[in-house]
Amino acid sequence: MCGRFATTLPPDAMAQLFEAAPANDLPPVPNYNVCPTNQIHTIHTEAGARRLTSMRWGFLPHWYKATNGGPLLINARAETIAEKPAFKAACRERRCLIPVSGFYEWTKDEEGARLPWYIQPAGEGPLVFAGVWQDWERDGEAHRTCAIVTCAANDQMAAIHHRMPVILGPEVWGKWLGEEGKGAATLMTPAPEGALRFYRVDRAVNSNRASGPELTCPIE
């Protein structure tokens, strides 16, 4: 799964990288502790053009009567996304890209304490997650919402967690966004071995109120 991440790429750099027109209400960067229900940067295709927009991280199906009207859906499992009522329409019609600098995952020590790890690309550039999105409106309150698509971990990532985000390379961004016909389902696979690197970071990130670049610094 993915429950926390960092974003440091400036919006103008995102707009250039994805050839997307940026919205005016994008969340501030850098943010080293992006949490569920935060507004995040996403890229989707609308009317034949790519848009860089802000979405609420936490997918809201249309039948939720309030933002807390059901489970918080921050991830969508690749294996069942096409069948789940919450996600199946979005999987066909509303896919997005979610650029991040890195993400956090946790293991536990012998006493059960949560030990955070920071996972980032082994090479240059951001990680780009596969996402799905949904507009939600109820009683005058409206949100554009999204979830990160996850798959079984590759062997490298399995040392930390059995799930990982679906990570997309530039060569398939257009296909995931629906710009190049069908075939998006074939992209929901683990990242190649060696595509990521990870290391332990301070337990300060266990708090969703923590902030600052030190959260991503390695510890001994």
Which residues fall within 8 angstroms of residue 118, CB to CB, at 6 or more apart? 6, 102, 103, 104, 198, 199, 200, 201, 215, 216, 218
Contact criterion met (CB below 8 Å) for 14 and 28: no
How open is the CA angle 150-19-53, to the nearest 5 degrees?
Answer: 60
Residue 220's nearest CA partner among 199, 206, 205, 204 is 199
SS3 of residue 215 by DSSP = helix
- Which residue among the candidates 19, 93, 96, 105 is catalytic per the annotation? 105
- Is residue 105 annotated as a catalytic residue, yes or no? yes
- Is residue 214 annotated as a catalytic residue, yes or no? no
State both tokens at 47: 């009317």
Question: What does residue 96 show for φ and ψ, rounded to 5 degrees?
Answer: -145, 170
Return d(Cα 143, Cα 115) in angstroms, integer: 33
Contact criterion met (CB below 8 Å) for 150 and 2: yes
- Kindly list the catalytic residues: 2, 105
